[in-house]
Amino acid sequence: MFESLLKKIIAIDGITGCITVDPQDGSVLLKEGDINPLLEDITAFFGSGFDVVASSLGIKRLKFSYLEKENQKFVILVKEGGYIGCELSSDIAFEVVMKKIQGIEKTDGEMKEPEKVSVSSVGELSQQTRFLDSKVNQINLLIDEFSDREDRVQWIELVREKFYENEIGKKMISVIHFDNNKVIFEGNLDPETKEEDISIVSKLVTDSLCRKAVEKFGAIEAKKKVHNVIEKLGITK
């Protein structure tokens, strides 16, 4: 189980927080330690945008990725059944942490997919609102990067199209607004909306934006742009 693996990883000196997200919809499965909200965003984003670009580049069997920005360090582990995101303390070497993680993995073998953690309805609504806001922020960062802050209309129209063509997306459209500059989330989210619903729609939108970027810039340049967005997500706490 991922639960057992996360408990062992969080016990490694220098790892401050760990999170597991579903590879299909980016929803949170498990958390351990001190969780920086950006760790959730980066891990979920990696599992959506990078998948599209990696597929275009023919990258297979990717085991992990490492991101460092100023005093922040993140490791994303690619596992069957989920992505594990870890935040490292600024004074720990990436190589030291990875050696210890790989030692744990060799001992434990492959982990099975965990069950999702249930949360109370009150906490869930608050989490859903924050979750949708973070997804809209990611979408806007992708639009910024792919449009070079110039021709944004075609990218925003693509986002609008994907929201309207999806039944779940149509239910959220009352709180999602579009103009020529950005996608805006405002208003009260329907309490019946699940975090999983938000993940499904945001992944559809993110994947579509990344595919368009691959068509426009080529896979290598699109990968660089996706990585730029991941770095922007990790600039500050």
Residue 80 shares a structural domain with residue 181: no
In single-letter form, the type of residue at position 126 comes to: S
Residue 25 shares a structural domain with residue 93: yes
The pair of three-digit structure tokens given for residue 187, joined into one six-digit string: 């208003």
d(CA 67, CA 6): 19
Tell which residue, 34, 225, 220, 28, has the closest CA to residue 115. 28
Tell me if 93 is assigned to some domain.
Answer: yes
In single-letter form, the type of residue at position 195 comes to: E
Q: Which of 56-65, 136-145, 207-216 has the lowest mean pLDDT?
A: 56-65
Q: Going edge to edge, which strands form the sheet with 15-21?
A: 28-33, 15-21, 82-88, 72-79, 64-69
Distance of CA 87 to the CA centre of its chain: 14
Residue 93 shares a structural domain with residue 141: no
Q: pLDDT tens for residues 153-187?
A: 899 999 999 999 888 888 888 888 887 788 988 87
Tell me if 219 is assigned to some domain.
Answer: yes
Q: pLDDT tens for residues 11-51?
A: 999 999 999 888 776 778 889 998 887 787 778 777 666 56
CB-CB contact of 10 with 17 (8 Å):
yes
Q: Which of 108, 135, 159 is the last residue of a domain?
A: 108
Residue 74 shares a structural domain with residue 155: no
Residue 101 shares a structural domain with residue 125: no
d(CA 223, CA 32): 29
**Is the predicted pLDDT of residue 206 greater than 70, yes or no?**
yes
Residue 49 shares a structural domain with residue 137: no
The confidence score (pLDDT) of residue 237 equals 38
Residue 16 shares a structural domain with residue 75: yes
pTM of the model: 0.59
Print the domain residue range for 21: 2-108
Tell me if 188 is assigned to some domain.
Answer: yes
Looking up residue 56, the CATH number of its domain turns out to be 3.30.450.30
Tell me if 113 is assigned to some domain.
Answer: no
Could you tell me how many residues make up the chain? 237
From residue 193, alpha-carbon distances to 85, 169, 189, 208 in Å are 25, 10, 7, 22
Tell which residue, 93, 48, 96, has the closest CA to residue 199. 48
CA Rg, the chain, in Å?
Answer: 18
Tell me if 51 is assigned to some domain.
Answer: yes
Say how many domains are in the chain.
2
Tell which residue, 112, 207, 120, 118, has the closest CA to residue 158. 207
